Structure formats: structure tokens, C-alpha cells
Chains A and B, each alone.
Chain A
Amino acid sequence: GEDVEQSLFLSVREGDSSVINCTYTDSSSTYLYWYKQEPGAGLQLLTYIFSNMDMKQDQRLTVLLNKKDKHLSLRIADTQTGDSAIYFCAETFGANSGGYQKVTFGIGTKLQVIP
């Protein structure tokens, strides 16, 4: 079955790098996502990585995927106070021919950035 696990809380100082970790169980996952949720808001897709990739970089964000260990990480360089939010790791198989796509989320990691 599908299961996604994350640590609950991470505190970093402004300007430092943040690393949020995630493990998943389903080796057939096709896409792995990182979503950001600010208080009172919906989910914002930050970045995603396809399962045949090891790394993806997008400005301050670096995603690393270790498919053997089913481990995903999100590194935020030069963390700012505006990065304070809850970060969700999620996995999906991608849509099938009938358009069906279920996304399985982790519990979320609350990132606190200290000025």
C-alpha cells in the first residue's frame, strides 16, 4: 500500500539551508511532489520530480531522490521568513488512460524560520 512519512517539525535560522526529508513505500510511484501550505491557504505545488531522475534544481529548491531507499528530500537554500509554512511530500502514479490520479500525501513538516 501507499504510505508517505515525514518528520513533523524543522527550525532553521534565516539565511541557512533547510532540508526536509520524506520516505515513501510504493516503489511504483511515478511522480513525487513537494507542496507548500501557508496558514489558512490551500496547497501550492513547489516542485516535482519524475521517478527516473535523481535530482532536480529550481532556483533555491533542490530535490534529491534516492529510489533504492525510497527517500526524497527538499533543500531550500538561503531560507527566508517567507518560507515558513507546512511542506507536504506526496506521491502519485500519474494519470491512467481514464484520467484517474490519486495523490498520497505525508503528514507535513512544519518549517519555522527564525529571523
Chain B
Amino acid sequence: ETGVTQSPTHLIKTRGQQVTLRCSSQSGHNTVSWYQQALGQGPQFIFQYYREEENGRGNFPPRFSGLQFPNYSSELNVNALELDDSALYLCASGPGTSGSNNEQFFGPGTRLTVL
């Protein structure tokens, strides 16, 4: 139990639609990161938010966007869904303190299927 929750657990969408995935971080964690894990692959870094601002991004197009709120909740939004967006989406929260191990605590993920 990491204290990080995600909703929904599973989601089915069709190509071209938009989706919002939600994450609730541990209280006091200033950073939230989102990862995409395709079947049989390792998680790929999408972006990270620190105190409600995006402060780093992986190799994902702008149709992947996010929000982080003061109450330690956050969202991942994906527009114009493509079949290849089908994956497990993981959020991870961390304290965001420089110079430390900065363990990231992962949620259980949202399984998105795009038809």
C-alpha cells in the first residue's frame, strides 16, 4: 500500500476521443509523475509536475497534458486518442526534495484500451 490511488481502474475509449485519468498522491508530496506502460514494456516517462507546474517532459506529443492541484490530486489528459495509446498509465508521487533518494510511490495504474 503506497498511499497513491488512481481512478478509474479500467477504461475503454474509441479512437479520436479524449480521456482524463486521475491520481491522488500522498499528502505532502510535491511531485507527481505520469508513466505509460505498454504491454510487455517498461514504464515510459510522460511528464512530471512539481507544485502545480510541469517541470519535465518525456518524448510524448502535446496531446498528452496534465494538471496538478493543491489538494495532492492530479490529472492526465489525452486528446485525440490513438490505438497505440492503449496501455497501463501509472502515476507516482514523491516529496520532490533535492539531494535525496526521492523514492517515488506508484499507484496501481489505470488500464486504458483504445478501440
Contact = CB atoms under 8 A, between A and B. Distances in A.
A9 B9 CA distance: 27
A95 B42 contact: no
A41 B108 contact: yes
Interface in A56-115: 88, 90, 92, 94-108
A99 B45 CA distance: 15
Contacts of A99: 30-31, 48, 50-51, 55, 96-98
What secondary structure prevails in chain B residues at the interface with A? loop
Interface string B53-95: 0011010000000000000000000000000000000101010
Given A43-B43, A100-B50, A95 B97 contact: yes
Interface residues of A, number: 29
5 tightest A-B CB contacts, nearest first: A99-B96, A105-B42, A99-B50, A42-B106, A43-B106
Interface of B: 2, 4, 30-31, 33, 35, 40-45, 48, 50-51, 55-56, 58, 90, 92, 94, 96-109
Given A102-B33, A103-B92, A107-B42, 6 more contacts: A35-B106, A42-B90, A88-B42, A95-B100, A99-B30, A104-B45
